[in-house]
């Protein structure tokens, strides 16, 4: 079983977010955690409330960007941060949930807003049973 996880990677002005998992869904959920970690430490965000997210795109890479942008939209309009994600993908459709709570500056100490997920260094791939999903986000 491939181990799930996330990391950031280098981009000179912004930040790359990368997730791994045994399935594409798990990799997408981990990339969302990497996105959260650009803003704040996911460990201090309590997954109190779920927000439903749905998006469609003609390929997996565009679907990843849509997924991340949908989370960015929910963070911005609900003033929330998320620390737990579930993802189901069926063809062009992604149905997911983001669990989190309202931003509390003193506790979450958010560093920066994310403006959007981009197509830079965008990749969704599988190798030896391990899925990878990544792109650069604009901050």
Note the residues at the interface with another protein (CB under 8 A). 8-15, 39-40, 57-58, 62, 65-66, 69, 72-73, 76-77, 79, 103, 105, 109-113, 115-120, 122, 136, 138-139
DSSP, residue by residue, 8-75: EEE-SSSEEEEEEESSHHHHHHHHHHHHHHHHS-GGG----EEEEEEEE-SSHHHHHHHHHHHHHHHH
* Distance from C-alpha of 136 to C-alpha of 24, rounded to nearest angstrom: 18
Q: Smallest gap, in angstroms, from Cβ of residue 130 to another protein?
A: 23
Q: From the CB of 77, what's the least distance to another protein, in Å?
A: 5
Q: Which is nearer to another protein, 23 or 74 (CB)?
A: 74
Tell me the closest approach of the beta carbon of residue 93 to another protein, in angstroms.
Answer: 16
Based on CB atoms, which residue is closest to another protein, 58 or 91? 58
Residue 21 CB contacts under 8 Å (≥ 6 apart), including other chains: 2, 4, 5, 27, 28, 29, 30, 130, 131
Minimum distance between the CB of residue 88 and another protein, rounded to whole angstroms? 21
| Closer CB to another protein, 46 or 139, in the complex | 139
């Amino acid at each position: 079983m491939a181990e799930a996880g996330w990391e950031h990677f280098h981009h000179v002005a912004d930040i790359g977010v990368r997730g791994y998992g045994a399935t594409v869904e798990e990799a997408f959920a981990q990339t969302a955690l990497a996105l959260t970690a650009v803003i704040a430490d996911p460990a201090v965000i309590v997954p109190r409330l779920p927000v439903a997210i749905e998006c469609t795109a003609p390929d997996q890479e565009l679907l990843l960007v849509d997924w991340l942008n949908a989370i960015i939209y929910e963070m911005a309009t609900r003033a929330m941060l998320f620390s737990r994600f579930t993802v189901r993908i069926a063809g062009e459709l992604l149905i997911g949930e983001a669990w989190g709570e309202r931003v509390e500056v003193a506790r979450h100490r958010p560093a920066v807003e994310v403006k959007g997920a981009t197509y830079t260094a965008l990749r969704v791939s599988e190798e030896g049973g391990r899925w990878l999903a990544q792109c650069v986000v604009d901050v």
